[in-house]
Amino acid sequence: MAEEAECSQATIINIRANLRQFGSVHAPPTRIGRRRTVTPLMIEALCEHLSEKPGLYLDEMAVFLWDEFRTLVTTSSIRRALVAKSWSKKSTRQQARERNADLREWYLYNLSDFQSYQLVYVDESGCDKRVGFRRTGWSPLGFDAFLGWCIDVVGAKEESARGHFRHAGLKIEEALKDC
């Protein structure tokens, strides 16, 4: 039989063994190496969580996975899984809330209730840098992510325009009639 198939006798023996054991000429594929600690279900949950809180640090993601799945995952495994899912870490920009005139007026109004001796100012130079504004955030790569960002920017601009109309004492419907 080996001569007819133009192969070795060992190949014929292996094919017969596979047919007897697995019902196919080929053995089922075996995974080489360690099993993944971050499963596809965990990655989907993490990506969903990152879409709500993109500024999370890797150790905070590990805590999230522990809380949700009771699995200890290293930060390097999380990073590798996110990169494989086409997520990247980008630098973020913070838009100052002080640019909103309504908020500035509200702050000054609230501050006017206090006397100067009641105010305490704190130097935050010795504070933990991880508290407050996050300098980086995770987001998916590609056009869909860019499109989502554009929609967010347009929504923010619309809200800003509504604030300007409110500050001027106009209602949106009145302003649209005048155009």
Q: Could you tell me the pLDDT band of residue 130, with boundaries at 50, 70 and 90?
A: low
Local structure of 104: helix, strand or coil? helix
Kindly report the CA angle at 36 between 30 and 40, in degrees rounded to 5? 105
Please state whether the predicted TM-score (pTM) of the whole model is above 0.85. no
Residues 101-127, mean pLDDT to the nearest whole number: 79
Q: What distance in Å separates the CA atoms of residue 135 and residue 127, rounded to the nearest whole number?
A: 15
For residue 32, which amino acid is it? I
Residue 46: burial class (beta carbons within 10 Å; 0-12, 13-18, 19+): buried
Q: Indicate the pLDDT class of residue 177, thresholds 50, 70 and 90.
A: very low
The percent of residues above 90 in pLDDT, for the chain, comes to 21
Residue 98 pLDDT:
58
